[in-house]
Structure 1
Amino acid sequence: MTPLAAFVRADTVALADFAALCEQTVDPADYPHSNAVQRKVVIYHADTLRQALASDPTALKNELHHLFRHGPGVMVVRAAYSDPGVIDRHSRVLAAILAQEAQQGQAADHFAKAGANGRLWNSLQKTALHSPDSFIEYYANPLLGLIAESWLGPHFQITAQVNVVNPGGQAQQPHRDYHLGFQTVDEVERFPLPLQVMSQYLTLQGAIAHTDMPLETGPTLLLPFSQQYDLGYLAWRHEAFNDYFQQYAVQLALNKGDLLFFNPALFHAAGSNITADRQRMANLLQISSAFGKPMESLDRDRMMQALYPALLKRLQQDELDDQGLASVIATAADGYSFPTNLDSDPPLHGMAPKTGQQLMLQALTERWPYPVFEQQVSLMRSKRQA
């Protein structure tokens, strides 16, 4: 295959290259701590992992890291909680919070229509505040940290969101996840290819099953080895890749208390719940590398407000061209939608809320008076606060 340039367009994707990667097979010998391989998904039992964690964690972490990058990219841990009551008690906490929020309206979603399913944003903070005891016994499970550290190293940070798929809930479009999975194709094209590949090393996706998930309830569809395709963030919206996913994706039933973890670049999609009376509930873990942070703390909102009058004056006097304006905005304002509070700052018009850079450019383009801009910056700040 011809080496790719750093900046590539979406029309350079090649289904044949993608298919060649996805058609790889799994050698169980590569995963000596596993108990089985089912449909290219490596299956572990929690007791085996606990024993390895106590005796030789480095060998186990090497194995898991290989699985996420060079292997199929997805694993399941059976019976991850030795006390099943931990899941039941935390489910009751989640249900209580969901019931409270249901009275306040429907939550927006990234890949499903608002209101189609139950969605609890920031379940991590909300459960800590609602029931510290349940939070402690639930997140005290050492397997969560083991798996996260095997991919991300130490000092990672967890966020979590609960998804409840109701009877009749429809399948998602196959996709990749955070970071670049939430951006438009035009935005992804702006990132050099090595940065697109690097995106997968910044996060790990996980899910804790809070209900039994037989196939008819629609557990996640997965395409093993698809995370190895470097152009995947440009490819997943293509119809041909979607068709390939529908033909070759695999699906495993999960039991309450099982864990599912996968590389965020893996093509995946929640399945359809075709039952008449069974909900499917999972706590989705989005785990971030410690490296995804700047070196200094800046108050970019204050910077935007301080610079706005001078920028507006220069534009009105034709003293600043479009490129100069873009450079100043990129330097001063936050160009990324996350982290934010997805309850008050939802992705209503796409998969990512408006950024400070987008707000500032809109205000200057439309020549907003300063009080209007100041008010909108303050509103954005309040919406993003936890």
Structure 2
Amino acid sequence: MRLADLVEVVSEPTRADDYPHAAGVEQGVVVYASVTLRAAVASPEGEDAVRAELVHALTDGPGIVVLKGAWDDHDVVDRATAAFEEVIAQEKAAGGAAGDHFAKPGANDRIWNALEKLAVTDPATFVDYYANDVLALVSTAWLGPAYQVTSQVNVVRPGGVAQDPHRDYHLGFLSDEVAARYPAHVHLLSPVLTLQGAVAHVDMPVESGPTLYLPHSQKYGPGYLAYRRDDVRDYFADHHVQLPLEKGDAVFFNPALLHGAGSNVSADVQRVANLLQVSSAFGRAMEAVDRARATTAVYPTLLERRAAGWSDAALRRVVASVAEGYPFPTNLDLDQPVDGMTPLSQAEIVEQALAAGRDVDQVGQALGAYAARRRTDGAV
């Protein structure tokens, strides 16, 4: 991994001629007027053309599109904002933790699982908000049908500091050590499993810290292993772009794009964004397996094999087959990423139990607590 290789990739210009439906290109970012896109997709042929153009922008282009006026009914946006403020107030009153992936706990107001909480708090607003046609257009363009939407709300007050530049879920949430275990073709696969987006719930001038981006950086293959390097972060600090947004605008980007929220240096703007993460239908297994039940059943035998001298590698192979090795999805209100970017997985809990020689009752309790942390009932 050489910084020079990343520089070569991101030096490619964004050509306006490649995006005939766009309103223009600003700082290398393709900007669309949502009213234009709505008119263009009125026919099946037009919809196909717009989808192909969006995919080109997110894959071979700058990796980011700004959709002006995506949520053009500001009353709906304001109603959603009011509902989010109600949830924040409830959670603060309850004394809940406020962990964050990329910011110090408590630095911002964050709502985990804002999608479910909005649905429960204000169903009518939820329906009006998520009936949005532009969200469906860009989601189907990138992921196809049967996608799943999740949402996190971030409120950054004046004085809120910038995030470090990073890539996003999936591989972007893993440590360098873990990400390096995945082969190169998985690094290329990860971005097409997720679409990242953000809806501006207030006007966001540059001084309020809207997200910083490095256009075209999603095309740098080793980027999941490079983004924490000091030279990459220094380059990002000197060459990022940052666009102001207005209420109702939306930004969607390839999760492999290097990006990070900016510092809010405004005097009085509370930056409110609904962060959307849209997931591919293909990110799940075919069969439903009660892995806690299966793990509890085989755990006594694993203890016996360990006592008989089985290697840790052999035990890990069995654990990998029976337990859930990935910590997501989870309830981030209860399963906070406080000591890292990911909570413990079921498999890690079992491996730790084996190493400590814990009995089956203790493992059962740990797996029960693991399952309880993933429940969302009563979270609002």
Scaled by the length of structure 1, the TM-score of the pair is: 0.95
Deviation at 1:86, TM superposition (A): 1.0
Contact 2:194–2:280 (Cα < 8 Å) also in 1: yes
Deviation at 1:202, TM superposition (A): 0.2
For 1:62, the equivalent position in structure 2 comes to: 52
For 1:350, the equivalent position in structure 2 comes to: 340
Matching residue within 127, 134, 140 for 1:143: 134
Matching residue within 345, 350, 367 for 1:360: 350
SS in 1 for 2:42: helix
Deviation at 1:82, TM superposition (A): 2.8
Matching residue within 8, 12, 25 for 1:37: 25
Deviation at 1:277, TM superposition (A): 2.1
2:4 counterpart of 1:16: yes
Please tell me the residue identity of whatever aligns with 1:53: V
CA distance in 1, matches of 2:168, 2:147: 17
Please tell me the residue identity of whatever aligns with 1:373: V
SS in 2 for 1:261: strand
Deviations 1:26-51 (A, max 9, x none): 11111000001100011001100101
For 1:242, the equivalent position in structure 2 comes to: 233
SS in 2 for 1:240: helix
Deviation at 1:355, TM superposition (A): 0.3
Deviations 1:215-243 (A, max 9, x none): 11000000000000010000000000001
CA distance in 1, matches of 2:246, 2:267: 19
Structure 2 counterparts to residues 1-386 of structure 1, below 5 A: 13-55=1-43, 56-103=46-93, 104-318=95-309, 320-386=310-376
The percent identity for this pair of structures is 48
SS in 2 for 1:176: coil
Unaligned runs of 5+ in 2: none
CA distance in 1, matches of 2:197, 2:330: 20
Contact 2:319–2:347 (Cα < 8 Å) also in 1: yes
CA distance in 2, matches of 1:105, 1:289: 31
Deviation at 1:316, TM superposition (A): 1.4
SS in 1 for 2:303: helix
Deviation at 1:322, TM superposition (A): 1.8
SS in 1 for 2:373: helix
Q: CA RMSD in A?
A: 0.8
Deviation at 1:14, TM superposition (A): 1.2
CA distance in 1, matches of 2:302, 2:76: 56
CA distance in 1, matches of 2:308, 2:213: 55
Deviation at 1:106, TM superposition (A): 3.3
Contact 2:153–2:274 (Cα < 8 Å) also in 1: yes
Contact 2:97–2:333 (Cα < 8 Å) also in 1: no
Please tell me the residue identity of whatever aligns with 2:16: P
CA distance in 1, matches of 2:128, 2:71: 10
Q: How many residues align?
A: 373
Deviation at 1:145, TM superposition (A): 0.6
CA distance in 2, matches of 1:292, 1:44: 29
Point out the more displaced range, 79-88 or 329-338: 79-88
Please tell me the residue identity of whatever aligns with 2:348: Q
Deviation at 1:266, TM superposition (A): 0.1
CA distance in 2, matches of 1:20, 1:365: 47
CA distance in 2, matches of 1:276, 1:26: 34
Please tell me the residue identity of whatever aligns with 1:136: V
SS in 2 for 1:384: coil
SS in 1 for 2:357: coil
SS in 2 for 1:343: coil
CA distance in 2, matches of 1:335, 1:14: 32
For 1:4, the equivalent position in structure 2 comes to: none
For 1:3, the equivalent position in structure 2 comes to: none
Deviation at 1:369, TM superposition (A): 2.0
SS in 2 for 1:379: helix
Please tell me the residue identity of whatever aligns with 1:41: V
CA distance in 1, matches of 2:50, 2:330: 34
Unaligned runs of 5+ in 1: 1-12
Please tell me the residue identity of whatever aligns with 1:361: E
Deviations 1:244-284 (A, max 9, x none): 10010000000010000000000000000012322100000
CA distance in 1, matches of 2:207, 2:190: 33
